[in-house]
Amino acid sequence: MIPPLHLVLDTALEIRPQCPQLEHILFDDPRGLRNYDAPGLAGLKEVEAAGKVYCEEHPDFFQEQVEQGQPDDVAAMFFTSGTTGNPKGVVHTHYTLLNRAQVGAAFDKLTEREEVLAYLPPAWIGQNIFSYAQWLACGYVVNCPESSATVAIDLKEIGPTYYFAPPRIFEGMLTSVMIRMEDASAVKRALFHRFMDVARRVGPRLMDGQSVSLGERLLYALGDVLVYGPLRNNLGFSRVRVAYTAGEAIGPDLFTFYRSIGINLKQLYGSTETAVFVCLQPDHEVRADTVGVPCEGVEIKLSDQGEILVRSPGLLKEYYKNPKATAEVLDAEGWYHTSDAGFIDANGHLKIIDRVKDVGRLKGGPNDGALFAPKYVENKLKFFSFIKEAVAFGDGRDKVCAMINIDFEAVGNWAERRGLPYAGYTDLAGKPEVYALIQDCVEKVNADLSRDQMLSGSQIHRFLILHKELDADDGELTRTNKVRRGFIGEKYAVLVEALYGGKNEQYIETQVKFEDGRTGVISATLRIADAKTFAPMQAAA
């Protein structure tokens, strides 16, 4: 919720003595500010009037300022999420932003006829690339929501042709769809599941340009009329030509769902430091486990430690007032050190495993020396709609254990359909029935991991369901909702030791911060469960 303007203004005036260069404070709505009188305080209408007078006196001023601009001038500064430390200011020039915007536009053949929805945080580089830089490159239409509360409605009303969202947005949409279908009539549920089976079998092949029999095409066309078309329209994707996701891995089932119903959902790879576009997935070469091929102007190589190094016209100029951090990521040859571990597969697509610093090894036990990629494991757990967050541990230990956050909405709906009463998140998370539900998800992940030669040792042996949702206000997530694994390991050290100490339960008290700024304590005795693991499967000859 946006605080009242006078509260924001009070804060600005309060900190003003600490900011000697803060000369002017402007406001757009004078209501409630009648009695405010401070040097440099003015409304936008006053500024506009002064600007009009100045332009009349200096008619060439604007053009002169434009002509002074150079491609290598600083255009903007964006802050990193702070996943691996304190956020850093990433300085980009006009050239880096526009170059990557033009490359991305050319890759997907974007034109002035595209329509996008500018709903992402303005401070994030993704919003600036998709709603500003590419708008300058293509001249397409940028639509702004009426408010944050109306984004879903505006999405349906506008029907963008070009859309970007992090996986969490797509996960939330799918969860909402599945919850609504569970509450639908038996006939509608049967129709939905029948045609979704057809969609999963036929849809991705159609999207990838593969051969499909006439019978399957006709059946899919019928499904499009009865299910897929109305569903796309309900989601706001009736006109989407290209949709992208990035930032975190997206689950294969989630990825397949959207492509099955005719949405050209693809993945890209990039970061704040690379002006987003490093790798993109070409049409007909889209897979859930890769992030595409290097786009125009990008070079990629791997270090001896498996770190992905990038050289591109879109690289940052520097970290603001932080030459030491700049030197750590940009070497003398112009390679940007991404801190991501991965490899290029046989088809030339990049596959991300984890952060380099987080890739570890198990120590002791039957999997001694096995590779452990926590983010890879966590993402597999989060592929299930019942699991909102997961934190995996295992580096330097004899087995992998995990802490899990349930998705309160999805699991709550599941519980209500089964007549299972609960009195809030903590109560629901501790139910034996919920533990059985999550255990099934964990064991499916283990079965999947057993088929991966590199990561079969990363199967989860023990897990618990946390008594509270991980929260950025409690320091457990970054402001972009990425798990701070190291911080969580320290904060919940007693739970980590209980997982590895063979305990069946553990009492814990946790201090939390509420939305209104108050603090409180949540306590619970958490159950610790064992999960079935599977023998590694041998690769086919």
Task: Quote the pLDDT of residue 178.
Answer: 85
Residue 170 host element (H or E): helix 167-182
Query: Can you tell me the distance from the alpha carbon of 533 to that of 527, in angstroms, rounded to the nearest whole number?
Result: 19
- CATH code 3.40.50.2300 for 359-530: no
* Integer CA distances (angstroms), 389 to 168, 209, 382, 457, in order: 11, 35, 6, 21
- The single-letter code of the amino acid at 188 is K
CA 304 to chain centre: 28
* Integer CA distances (angstroms), 404 to 116, 148, 345, 382, 408, in order: 35, 29, 31, 9, 12
Residues in a beta bridge with 25: 41
Three-state secondary structure call for residue 42: strand
Give the tokens for residue 97: 């932003």
Give the tokens for residue 57: 């006196």
Query: Can you tell me the distance from the alpha carbon of 402 to that of 441, in angstroms, rounded to the nearest whole number?
Result: 12
- The single-letter code of the amino acid at 500 is Y
CA 370 to chain centre: 28
Task: Quote the pLDDT of residue 1.
Answer: 46
The series of mean pLDDT values per 10 residues for the chain, 541 residues long, is: 68 90 88 84 92 95 93 94 78 97 97 95 90 95 92 94 92 87 88 94 92 94 96 95 86 86 96 96 90 96 90 97 96 96 87 85 89 88 90 95 95 94 95 97 94 86 96 85 89 96 94 80 94 79 37
CATH 3.30.300.30 in the chain is located at 359-530
- The single-letter code of the amino acid at 165 is A
CB 370 within 8 A of CB 457: yes
Residues in a beta bridge with 402: 392, 463
Task: Quote the pLDDT of residue 452.
Answer: 77
Residues in a beta bridge with 506: 526
Q: Among 289, 340, 366, 279, which Cα is nearest to 314's? A: 279
CB 9 within 8 A of CB 28: no
CB 141 within 8 A of CB 116: yes
CB 401 within 8 A of CB 386: no
Residue 310 host element (H or E): strand 307-311
Task: Quote the pLDDT of residue 83.
Answer: 60
Furthest C-alpha separation in the chain? 81
Query: Can you tell me the distance from the alpha carbon of 528 to that of 404, in angstroms, rounded to the nearest whole number?
Result: 11
Name the pTM for this structure. Answer: 0.71
